[in-house]
A and B are shown apart, each in its own frame.
Chain A
Amino acid sequence: MKKAKLFFSTVFMLIAVALSAQNVRVEGTVKDASNGEGVPFASVVVKGTTNGVSSDADGNYTISAPANGTLEISAVGYTTQDVAIAGKSVINVVLEPNFEALAETIVVAFGSTTKEAFTGSAAVVRSDDLQKRATTNVTNALVGSVPGLQIKGASGAPGAGSGNINIRGLASVQASMDPLIIVDGAPYPASLTNIPQNDIESVTVLKDAASAALYGARGAAGVILVTTKRGRSADAQVNFDARVGVNSRAVVDHDVITDPAQFYEAYYALLYNYHYYGQGETIEAANAAANSEMLTHLGYNVYTVPDGQLLIGTNGKINPNATLGRSYKFNGETYYMQPDNWRDLAYKNAVRQEYNVSINGGTNRSSFYASMGYLNEDGIIEYSGYQRLSARVRADYQVKNWLKVGANVGFVNSAQKSNPNMGTDLGSTNLMYYTTFIAPIYPVYVRVLDNAGNPVIRTDEFGHEQYDYGVAATNYGVGRGFMQTGNPFGSNRYNVAQSNGKQLNGTFTVDIDITPHLHANVSTTVNWGSTLTTKYDNPFYGPKVGVNGELYKSSSTSVRTNNIQTLTYANTFNRHYINVMLGHEYYKTTTNSQGITAQGGFSPEILEVNAFANVLYSGTSSSSSMYNVEGYFLSAQYDFDKRFYLSASYRRDASSRFATNHRWGNFWSVGGAWIISKESFMAGASWVDQLKLKASIGQQGNDAITNYAYIDTYSLSKSSDTDMTPSFNTIGNENITWETTTNSNIGLEFSFWRGRVAGSLDAYYKKTANLLFWISIPESAGSRGYYGNIGDIANKGLELSLTVVPVRTRNVEWTIAGNISTNKAVILKLPESKMGKNGGYYESTYWWTPGGEMRNYMNYEYAGVNDQGEALYWYDEDLSSLGNAATTITNQPGKKHSGTTTHIGEATRYALGSMLPKFFGGISTTLRIWDFDLSASFDYQIGGRILDNTYAKLMTPATSGSDGGYNYSTDIFKAWSPTNTGSTIPRWQFGDTDAAAGSSRWLTNASYINFQSFSVGYNVPVRRLGIDKHISRIRIYAVGENLGYISARKGFDPRSSMSSTATVNTYSPVRNISGGIQVTF
């Protein structure tokens, strides 16, 4: 309640400020000459000032202006008109559509340009589009809407960072492939979760050299420019947006066994088959042995079976006399064992709420934008959530007619509460791991029988419910087969894992007009970020009982500064326009981290080290690091008659990641565009609004490897209480320098029939040379390799995007937009030392060979089953010990399919082809009917294969007792057996180590279609209701994210990775459906 009060007082304070402006009131409607409809969001500005407003969805506007002034009315796609006010209080304007001059502005490196003049390839997502999304991290809104961009592995954990972003294929092999993210002109390595999407004016994705080369250094993988909002209207506007929704689990599970009886039968079958078929025992002996070993392996028997009877009969079915739930005496107490549904207990629906208030306004000398936002997102897992409070002020002021200053300051305070151990590691507290793999026989809680004989959850001396950690000595008296000593529910409940982030970002700019044609700009950005992490293991249950709780605190502070100075000369000579910019940029980041671990807590309520008894040396750390880059650049734009455009740039960069004499690199680009539609020979084709041909080529760099790769490093460890010793760590290579990408692009942009069909087609070829390559060496070196600049790769592809407007009438408009991209990543050259005589090399499950494709999966090739039901794998006689090789060779791919073997140790790895998708893209549609609008967007991928590791694990028969307790896919019931010899799934027999080996068997078609988002909205007709004097706009809407996907196998999510699904389910993207209201005063 207090929060609401705070919000409303803020709103009213802002309104009070807005009303204090004084001027004559003019109102009217802006209409489209072609169809008489209102033009929404047309800009109405008092000429010669920055005083302006936007029309509403119906084209209505109201502005305060001097009675003797002139209004300038403009809108994208229309010819601008000037109208003298001359004392009138109502001015209706009819704008002529002008499809020839799509003067849309695009934010580019160190400035902005018009879409027409732009020679590069970029995609823009604007605030209107973002409005239809409910993302906490704005990059999630790019999926499917930017051709050539792929995001994999985005997490659904509240407040999580971006997934892996790839722009136009795989930019590198070992260096980072993440694009450079620039926020308001400065590099921004922090999480974009820190910036509320309501504060974002536009996101521009720069894909080719002409657009990104000015970020020469580090622009090779593409650049994402985020621009925050600035003040635009003269009449102050207050905008309030509130949305509340529900997060729910979007991931689909594999088909697994859910019935405890069925699980026991499945596990029994494994052992029975081993004894009966494998060891040749009698049915009775095998039945007895399998029953006994099953309970030894699984630990828990949750069925009550009459004395002297076995749980599973010789028919392989559960004893009909068995009843679920079992009580027994242990350590003087009567325990009761029953299974719990771990999934149901783990996931819930959660509330997401987001509120934003912003005000923007201006005078003829200044503009102002301020906002405040609050987000509270609860996780779909108990004890996870994210809260963010953000504020931003952006203002500029024309001090003199030649001097303008600006400031943009944002602050964000966030708190992320997460579950302990939510990564993809197999830790004993990873809830995802448990819900994915635990057999449906295990309890979450320890239960006992109460006096009345009813099972109840046991409580301990503190009154806490007791979770079952599976440890014999302290829980049920038997060891749990699955991950003893862990219970993520208990960990989540009593442990703490949270981080608090604070970030202050300030940008200050000075613009000086030295002469009318010579302009200087100085921009300084300082970004201070701090993260405080608290982890606490409780003293009640689990491994920290003995030490009375353990606390880990860490803090990391980074300061990043970016300084840019530019000098620009721009002038027009007749029909020639030139613009030359000279600039310098320096970026520096320093990070300091400290951490401390302490044991023996006074109370779980006080999580600070001073309330703990014993500080651990191994858990105490402090370190710092620094990274800086510097660049000088020159760029030039030229156009002739707005028909021919040329651009060129040059940049020279230094990075501290390279040795002093190897750190400078040179980068450049040239580009051109020809507006064919402006040529006289096109005059007859009036249906052509615009036709533009463009081409560019240039070079960019990449230094995204670890620091200090140019010099040998040692890791320090303690040798005594008074000294440290250096152990060899990594080999350095003094010669490493920039990896360079030569990026060429040719494209066509078109718009026909007044925008009814519009789109673009781009073809590109990107060659990355001097790859920062991890050169593997024999590990007998005491090191596994080092970095060198060896090797070339290339990415080539096509991108098509098309927008069609099948219906456009006064009241109904329907738009369909789609894009499709294809990319092929090939290897051109590789280090000789790594290939040796093999003509290529095997690394990280890929076969690397010059001329081959990237991500060419290399592994054993599954060949079905033999007449014993054993899994078969192909071998090449030249590489296998079964053939001509002394020992099996695994570092080169097989060529021949000479025969099959049941032993992986004799099988051959084959290069099985690229895992990358053939096509990917998105489809979206928007429909507006009167005041209602509806939109939906989908993204898809066609082709490609990735490994379904989760399925592989669920299909792996236990090979030793320690595998007992893992759940299985229901597909195991289709396994080969003497009565089901047609199956290609190997026999279901305990101990078959090669039955489910890593092989082509787990490669799964990665095609999918994903319903990414929808929005439904209703714009209340404020004018018709007669409330427009108070409120200029009310919109009521619903939005949804991550609604569902279809893939090759239930439970298989190809969106998670380009290579394999995680063995552990990550906190996969959650589904969100929210309703909201947006009010503008």
Chain B
Amino acid sequence: MTTLTINGKRHDIALPEDTPLLWTLRDELGMTGTKFGCGMALCGACTVHLDGEAIRSCVTPISAAAGKNITTIEAVGEDKVGLALQQAWQDHGVPQCGYCQAGQIMSATALLHKTPKPSDQQIREAMSGNICRCGTYTRIHAAIKQAAGVSK
């Protein structure tokens, strides 16, 4: 049994310890906001926070997440920065299909917590682990700058 704290709520999970957090969230707990994209930490669609750090849940076994605070897209709006990013995402009409955007917002939230006023280069570096196949990168960039209050 592994005990996970997800969005402030405790869950006892009866899955093998090597089960990735991603599939635990999606299949066991029905929290489908976190997406599967590659299974190898290459695309960022599955990004969640572990004690505030952006991590790829597809390669994070639940044993490594036990005892830490897990935050997912479903609750990131309770955080001021997360909420500002969700708003900026809508203001800029960022999403196209929307599939990767949960991961994008989770990465952006972690970035702004660590670096509240990021440079263009810092934004690009922080966001380059998240693939968007629809090609919303320029709008993501602008939305992050708006949320950070560093727009020109």
**Do the two shown chains form a genuine complex with each other?**
no
* Chain B residues close to A by CB (< 8 Å): none
- Give residues in A with beta carbon < 8 Å to B: none
